[in-house]
Amino acid sequence: GNSVTQMEGPVTLSEEAFLTINCTYTATGYPSLFWYVQYPGEGLQLLLKATKADDKGSNKGFEATYRKETTSFHLEKGSVQVSDSAVYFCALSDRYTGKLIFGQGTTLQVKP
Amino acid sequence: EAQVTQNPRYLITVTGKKLTVTCSQNMNHEYMSWYRQDPGLGLRQIYYSMNVEVTDKGDVPEGYKVSRKEKRNFPLILESPSPNQTSLYFCASSLGQGRETQYFGPGTRLLVL
């Protein structure tokens, strides 16, 4: 079945450090891939998405590229800020049911 | 403002007392869904609806009911809540299923004593 695996956290970085959060997936066909972010006490917000192989999603300095050959969708940011501290979820969408299948989430803490 | 709203945001109840969590969206979305989030288990889909009067089970439907009588509303009903339904619940909606972005509500934190 479909599944998503994320690197375990927590990840602690200093401000302006480079961020990578690894995400790999298993799926039949070509699902859409998403990164969602959850700030403390809030719901999930879409950070970026990609709908086909080699697509690059980007938003607020974050980027991720849909790599079909490695079944990966790693999240990167060149210079993190304290305000980026949150939980990040990688997800894929089941094309038949629309169900989002989430990774376990990675907590990012950025220190000044 | 385009949004998904849920009510209540917080609820403490006792075992067996029926409750309903409401969900409403103002984006004319066809697809709506409920998820629960639990530590160590992540986010799991409870039920989904592809359109009015069309609902289906997700991964963890036991103990829950839903209805979709209007396009904008998708209430989650717990007819006889039990402590294992203590969780954080999210409603989501999208234009369709598959490639569309799902937009999430702010969440409802439920404690069943």
Mean pLDDT by 10 residues, chain A (112 residues): 90 97 92 94 93 95 96 97 96 89 96 96
How far apart are alpha carbons A51 and A69 in whole angstroms?
A: 15
Q: What angle do CA A93, A99, A105 make, to 5 degrees?
A: 70
How far apart are alpha carbons A46 and A32 in whole angstroms?
A: 13
pLDDT, position B1 = 85
Is B48 at the interface with chain A, CB within 8 A? yes
A97 and B102 in contact by Cβ < 8 A?
A: no
What does the pLDDT look like over B19-63, one tens digit per residue? 999 999 999 999 999 999 999 899 999 999 999 999 999 999 999
Measured between CA atoms, the residue of chain B closest to residue A93 is: B98
Measured between beta carbons, the chain A residues lying within 8 angstroms of B4 are 43
Tell me which residue in B33, B48, B99 faces A32 most closely, judged by beta carbons.
B99
Measured between beta carbons, the chain B residues lying within 8 angstroms of A98 are 31, 33, 48, 50, 94, 96-98, 100, 102
| B98 pLDDT higher than 80 | no
What does the pLDDT look like over B104-113, one tens digit per residue? 999 999 999 9
